[in-house]
Amino acid sequence: MSENNVFARIIRGELPANKVYEDDEFLAFHDIDPAAPVHLLLIPKRHVVSLQDVGPEDAAWLGRMMALIPKLALENGCRPGPEGGFRVVANSGDDGGQEVPHLHFHILGGERPWKPKS
Ligand code: 5GP
């Protein structure tokens, strides 16, 4: 059965998103309710609910996903260098505060002060 959450619908093109990156495996777009000057969401196209569902067999694609984060952050407004940078958050499950049940990394950045809600 196909997923029916908003991110699965964005992947299928059923809902619009302000996309900043797409390839065969991953999609990144702006969060609809940004918690920082830069707030991107990076998701895999494969069906994975959260980090609770990954294991050693997922290391290769997860590594490719992680390696995209600095590229996307810097291409979309995060400042480089030690005075810049970004924050990465992956909420997992109800106790982790996850609202959308499809694995995603929040990429948050931009000049402070900003109050992260995640
Ligand atoms: P979670 O709490 O699951 O870690 O984060 C879900 C994030 O998805 C929230 O930051 C929320 O603002 C964002 N979000 C929810 N629905 C949509 C949507 O339809 N489009 C976009 N671009 N972001 C969404």
Phi–psi pair at 2, nearest 5 degrees: -80, 155
Catalytic residue from among 39, 102, 104, 106? 104
Average pLDDT, the chain: 96
Predicted ipTM? Answer: 0.99
CB atoms within 10 A of CB 63: 10
Q: How far is the CA of 2 from the centre of ligand 1 (A)?
A: 19
Q: Give the residue, by CA position, lying nearest to ligand 1 atom 20.
A: 32
Closest ligand 1 atom, residue 6 Cα: 19
Q: What is the mean pLDDT of residues 34-49?
A: 98
Q: What is the pTM of this model?
A: 0.97
C-alpha separations of 5 from 2, 8, 33, 47, 85 in Å? 9, 5, 17, 11, 30
Q: How confident is the model at residue 115 (pLDDT cuts 50, 70, 90)?
A: confident
Residue 1 has pLDDT above 90, yes or no: no
Among 4, 18, 32, say which to mutate for ligand 1: greatest number of ligand atoms within 8 Å of CB: 32
Q: Give the Cα separation of 106 and 87 in Å (integer).
A: 8
Please give the angle made by the CA atoms of 76, 70 and 94, to the nearest 5 degrees.
Answer: 90
Domain ranges in the chain? 6-109
Residue 83 has pLDDT above 60, yes or no: yes
**Nearest residue to 27 via CA among 2, 54, 9, 52:** 9
CB distance 30 to 78 below 8 Å: no
The H helix count followed by the E strand count for the chain is: 2, 5
The highest-level CATH class for domain 6-109 is alpha beta
